[in-house]
Amino acid sequence: MNALANQYGEGFMPSSSPSPTFGQGQPLPDCLPHGCYPPSQSQAVSALSPNLYRSVCECHAIYGAGYGASLANILGKVSFAVSGNFRICGNNGRSMPLSLHIRFAGARLSGKSEAHLRLNAPVAEAMKGWKKPWLFDNVLPPTLLRKLRAGSVLAMLSMQEGRGHLAGALSRSFQDLSDLYDSNMPSFDRADDDEELAGHALESAILVACVNVQDDAHRKWLESYGQDAMASGYLFRLLMIECDELAIEGAGAQQPELALLNYDDRIIELITSARVKLKSMAADKLPVIDVAPEAEQILRKAKECFRAMSGKALSPRDTIVFSARLCANARRIAGCMHVFEGYEGAVSADTMARAVTIAEYFGACWLATVFPPKPLSAAVQRGRHLLATLVTWVRQSQQSSLSWREADIVALAPNYGWSKAEMKEAMMWMCCAGFAQILPRTENGRRVIKFELNPDLASPQLEQLTHTPIRL
């Protein structure tokens, strides 16, 4: 029996696959609303279809690539292989391509290069002899468009270290990238552009983007162009993962490849088929995969979930855009897994549920990347430190009293290297945040000012702030 990958049951652990050991999960981003718990990285990887799941596990175990890098890169390569064979039926009845635009942002030694090189190897092998350029790196927009119009109907923008790409003009050609995301050829900019091609230029082409970049360059790009990218709509189409996961050494030749060899054979088979199809039909005329009604129902529920997930960070209008684009990507991911696994008929509810889990993980990463937590002020940091100290006192001494004389707390300021004013500022933050209160009390007939922790605070809330197990 398949194990549910998250509390909503969208994803399933392939029962025939060994369970990997995942690293510690990152804390929930501050931009998510209270009570929203999106899938973790382990749940997203476990939600992959069985053969893709085993391939990711082998890529990590043998080559040491991080799970985040492996997940992003395998989806990109599979999207390239399947998008030349089929399209998928959209929610409005019109078909859409299976091409994905993915960006993985990782720190040094995150396994970006290992995942890119190994998972791209069968793609390069299958594209040998293809007369038109198909693999693009840090290319200028006019060059890319000229090549696509001239017959590069199946193309991929991919690189293992994309710092130059983020600094180039193509990374911010949002309108052109949005058109190509839908397999539509952008219009000519000027009447005299490419006069030789104007009569027979392609009207549709497939462009898959799977770019690995450094996390610092990615954050700098978002600071400079994030607002424009969001206003254009392209940023909502872009799937992003940013994580600080480290690669491992990997078993190398000591462990034989099994799932990865099957992955190679399937990728080569799909690309060979795509090359034949694209010679006889346009990219927007490929056969269309239907989606089962049960799968459509899962997507409709996911759309509301995606909208609620983004409600804290985005405006009401942008939450609609975010959920619609993420549902479109979930539909494409489901189509990619459906074709790669060789399933017959319409996309099933099981496959769509897996895709929704993966898309929800991408959505949470997108929100955390686009809306990173703001740095805490010095006053807040001192307030949290004081809160953790007081809670630790209570826990270690097992005292029932949660109050101290205000003057006694202020007198501790030199122990932390603070001034009395800074200590009072820390106490003020605790009071404003609802963690404590200052009240007059009568002790032995004398009026004293007491600083008291709030006994009604929930332990999980305190633990998240102080990173200290709380037992008040």
Write the CA distances from 340 to 75, 91, 252, integer angstroms: 10, 22, 26
Residues of the chain with pLDDT > 70: what percent?
86
Q: Above 80 in pLDDT, residue 317?
A: yes
Length of the chain: 472
Q: Above 90 in pLDDT, residue 54?
A: yes
In the numeric block, the tokens 């991919």 are attached to 158
Q: What is the pLDDT of residue 25?
A: 40
* Rounded CA separation 357/9 (Å): 9
> What is the pLDDT averaged over residues 12-23?
41
Q: Identify any residues that bridge with 102 across adjacent strands, giving them in sequence order.
A: 210, 239
Indicate the pairing of strand 12-13 with strand 3-4: antiparallel
Q: What is the pLDDT of residue 8?
A: 34
* Rounded CA separation 116/250 (Å): 15
Q: What is the pLDDT of residue 400?
A: 60
Other CB atoms closer than 10 Å to residue 90's CB: what's the count? 15
Under 8 Å between Cβ of 41 and 35: no
Q: What is the pLDDT of residue 394?
A: 78
Q: What is the pLDDT of residue 458?
A: 44
> What is the pLDDT averaged over residues 365-383?
87
> What is the pLDDT averaged over residues 211-240?
95
Q: Above 70 in pLDDT, residue 287?
A: yes
pLDDT single digits (tens) 389-427: 888 887 777 666 678 888 889 998 898 899 999 999 999
Q: Which of 189, 136, 194, 193 minimizes the C-alpha distance to 165?
A: 136
Please calculate the CA angle 123-234-149 and round it to the nearest 5 degrees: 55
Q: What is the pLDDT of residue 289?
A: 97
pLDDT single digits (tens) 138-162: 899 999 999 998 889 999 999 988 8
Please calculate the CA angle 331-206-57 and round it to the nearest 5 degrees: 55
Query: pTM for the whole thing?
Result: 0.80
pLDDT single digits (tens) 99-134: 999 999 998 888 899 999 999 999 999 999 999 999
Q: Above 60 in pLDDT, residue 463?
A: no
pLDDT single digits (tens) 238-272: 999 998 888 888 888 889 999 999 999 999 999 99
Average predicted confidence (pLDDT) for the chain = 86
User: 437: part of which helix (H) or strand (E)?
Assistant: strand 436-443
Q: Above 50 in pLDDT, residue 469?
A: no
- For the chain, domains (ranges, CATH) are 3-188+198-370 (3.40.50), 381-466 (1.10.10.10)
Q: Which of 375, 391, 403 minimizes the C-alpha distance to 463?
A: 391
The lowest-confidence range among 36-45, 172-181, 192-201 is 192-201
